[in-house]
Amino acid sequence: MRFLLIDDVPSQRWLLRKRISQKWPDAGIEEYDPEKSGVPGPTFPWHDYDIVLLDYDLGLDQINGLELLSRIKGNANPPMVIMVTGQNDENLAAAAIRKGADNYIAKYDAVTNLFFETVAEAVKLREAALSASKPGRGEFGNWEIPGFRPLAIISKGVTTTLRCERIADHKDVILKVQLVGKGDSNQALLQRFILELNILADLKHAHVIEILEHDVTQNMVYYATEFMPRGDLAMRLKSGPVTVAEAVGIVAQVASGLTALHAKGIVHRDIKPNNILFKDEKTVVIADLGIAKDLSSLDALTLVGEILGTPYYMSPEQFNGRPIDPRSDMYSLGAVFYQLLAGTVPFVGNSFMEVVYKHNYDPVPPLPAELSRFQPVVEKMLAKAPEQRYSDLSELLATLIGVRM
Ligand SMILES: Nc1ncnc2c1ncn2[C@@H]1O[C@H](COP(=O)(O)OP(=O)(O)O)[C@@H](O)[C@H]1O
Ligand SMILES: [Mg+2]
């Protein structure tokens, strides 16, 4: 979201900026001082902004906030405008709304929660409008899900992950959706998806993503989870390294979530940073059981082509078609741990085959010298033969407790 603050009082602009970045740390915020820059001219790029906070009293003789509002709204593709009124003036607010303001807020409310609510509503409407106006976005045509308003498509593969507003309570949620179609392969995918949904619905654990609700509509099956604005571990790593304590904390939490899955006879099979989400700054949850395997089920539900994902976190037995058990997740978690400590995955190569080869034959490269105390741990997690790894995740957890941070 790109904000523009139009106000002649620097302290007021400062306050608005501060409040917006408290809630929307990634927002772009620009200021316009009418006293210094005068009346914005006819070529002012209003369409570069999503939300304008517009003061009524601009400190200008020629024009007040209401008149400027009319000018802004006279443009093609205007931003949303929240009128900032000096005093609790309902008449002014009403006049602003008549002239096209999207909302108003009294100056003294900048420090209250009403400010966040008012701006959040504008952000939401703006996001919905933006995605609605994107070219070729008949794409949302597929996503008519009663009770939800789609805001964005987050990822699209076998299933589609959508960010939506749950209309009943305005909650920001993620819907993972499997379209139901004809044909055997679709039947297999649907079966797989329903398995994912049921594993998650049956399992309540602090470190496994929680299903809020699920349903079947005319052309799809979906489940909803809470939207986690901090994103996944892969995104987190793009913004810089984690500390050793964070790395150990993340691995311990994923191990704890995996223990719960394994106790139910489920192997995740796709542990990697993209599938580890930040619930809050310190808490992570395991997501995406899209290729999880229920070991008790006779039907293997293995689909051709499913190993075509990223090879960096896959165990040798996954490449070699040998039986998979919980120790395969131990290996993948080992690759994640290695990456958290070293800043790069243990085995890289120029081709899929080269990476596979290294998983099979190469020793685990040494961690940076100052982290050598973790070398035996990652080597045991990343042992080529499952029987040489930790026997279960609680053994790993016990070991981690013993290693100095
Ligand atoms: N609840 C959520 N909150 C925020 N982002 C999410 C959430 N669920 C999924 N995502 C994002 O969407 C991506 C894809 O979701 P995922 O369940 O892994 O499906 P896929 O099978 O497409 O990999 C994740 O890597 C993550 O970045
Ligand atoms: Mg995923």
pLDDT in tens, 93-126: 888 888 889 999 998 889 999 999 999 999 998 8
Tokens of 269: 């099979």
Residue 356, pLDDT score? 93
Neighbours of ion ligand 2 (CB under 5 A): 274-275, 288
Catalytic residues: 270
Looking at mean pLDDT, say which of 59-68, 150-159, 357-366 comes out highest: 357-366
pLDDT in tens, 50-63: 999 999 888 888 88
Q: Find the ligand nearest to 159 CA.
A: 1
d(Cα 119, Cα 80) in Å, to the nearest integer? Answer: 10
Are 160 and 153 spatial neighbours (Cβ–Cβ below 8 Å)?
yes
pLDDT in tens, 265-312: 999 999 999 999 999 999 999 999 988 887 776 454 454 445 556 889
The rounded Å distance from CA 177 to ligand 2 centre is 13
CA angle 209, 212, 215 (to 5 degrees): 115
pLDDT in tens, 363-387: 999 999 999 999 999 999 999 999 9
Q: Distance of alpha carbon 267 from its chain centroid, rounded?
A: 24
pLDDT band at 17 (very low <50, low <70, confident <90, very high): very high
Average pLDDT of the segment spanning 75-82: 87
- Could you give the percent of the chain with pLDDT greater than 90? 63
> Nearest Cα to 32, choosing from 71, 67, 6, 54?
6
Mean residue pLDDT of the chain comes to 89
Atom 16 of ligand 1: nearest residue by CA position: 288
Atom 17 of ligand 1: nearest residue by CA position: 288
Tokens of 162: 């959508």
Q: Is the pLDDT of residue 32 over 50?
A: yes
Q: What are phi and psi of 302, to 5 degrees?
A: -90, 125
Cα-Cα-Cα-Cα dihedral of 96, 97, 99, 102, to 10°? 100
Q: Is the pTM of this model over 0.85?
A: no
Q: Find the ligand nearest to 174 CA.
A: 1
pLDDT band at 135 (very low <50, low <70, confident <90, very high): very low
Q: Which atom from ligand 1 is nearest to the alpha carbon of 225?
A: 1
d(Cα 267, Cα 83) in Å, to the nearest integer? Answer: 54
Residues with CB under 6 A from ligand 1: 154-155, 157, 159, 161, 174, 176, 225-228, 231-232, 274-275, 277, 287-288, 290
Tokens of 392: 């279960």
d(Cα 286, Cα 185) in Å, to the nearest integer? Answer: 27
Residue 217, pLDDT score? 87
